[in-house]
A and B are shown apart, each in its own frame.
Chain A
Amino acid sequence: NAGVMQNPRHLVRRRGQEARLRCSPMKGHSHVYWYRQLPEEGLKFMVYLQKENIIDESGMPKERFSAEFPKEGPSILRIQQVVRGDSAAYFCASSPRKTGYTGANVLTFGAGSRLTVL
């Protein structure tokens, strides 16, 4: 079981370019979360997805950011027209939580993708 796989681990973009971050959840996990971490800060929630559905995107900026989790393939966080303020570590986490499940929601995190905007 390879765990949560994120790529790329490091990404450098110039202002105005697009950044695409990918996340493959743990085998058997159908719920994916994206968090952003600025240097020396905690994680801030961005979006929560299940296969083909966005469940909660309340933490994601309305403009330039989008996320998807298609039926086949990894979840993708897309940032268009990047700005310097987008420089951060972006973490993906997955859980096996099922709809209607009221038990504990324990997340397994990937190693993160570190975006640097020049």
Chain B
Amino acid sequence: SQQGEEDPQALSIQEGENATMNCSYKTSINNLQWYRQNSGRGLVHLILIRSNEREKHSGRLRVTLDTSKKSSSLLITASRAADTASYFCATDPEYGNKLVFGAGTILRVKS
């Protein structure tokens, strides 16, 4: 079964605002990844955080990981209309051979 749960399911913000999405999971992981999907397209890898890391930055993206709470958050700062997409967390389990995806957060950035 899919173990990643994301919230909110949908988020609508104004351009320039920050967007925060959360992900919870259930099992031990090697790393957690965030992917983006534009409507009708495939997923694109955004950022990866390893289980021994607590925070990671990439451009306007900031990811945190709390392994004690089995949760992660993705922050997109200074959002743009082009950030409108679905965002998925995916866990790379410690014992396993496949990424497990959450249900995703639909982000809409209004200009």
Contacts and interface: CB of A to CB of B under 8 A. Distances in A.
A42 B98 contact: no
A45 B98 contact: yes
A41 B98 contact: no
User: Which of B42, B45, B48 has the most CB atoms of chain A within a 10 A radius of its CB?
Assistant: B42
A42 B50 contact: no
A69 interface: no
A45 to B, nearest CB: 5
Interface size class of A (residues with CB under 8 A): 20 to 34
A112 B41 CA distance: 7
A104 B31 contact: yes
A45 B100 contact: yes
Interface of B: 2, 4, 30-31, 33, 35, 41-45, 48, 50, 88, 90, 92, 97-104, 106
Given A45-B101, A106-B33, A108-B45, 12 more contacts: A4-B42, A42-B88, A42-B101, A42-B102, A42-B103, A43-B43, A56-B98, A91-B43, A105-B98, A105-B99, A110-B42, A111-B42
**A-B residue pairs, 4 tightest by C-beta:** A109-B42, A42-B103, A43-B101, A109-B43
22 contacts: A4-B42, A33-B99, A35-B101, A40-B106, A41-B103, A42-B88, A44-B2, A44-B101, A48-B98, A56-B98, A91-B43, A104-B31, A104-B33, A104-B92, A105-B30, A105-B98, A109-B35, A109-B43, A110-B42, A111-B41, A112-B41, A112-B42
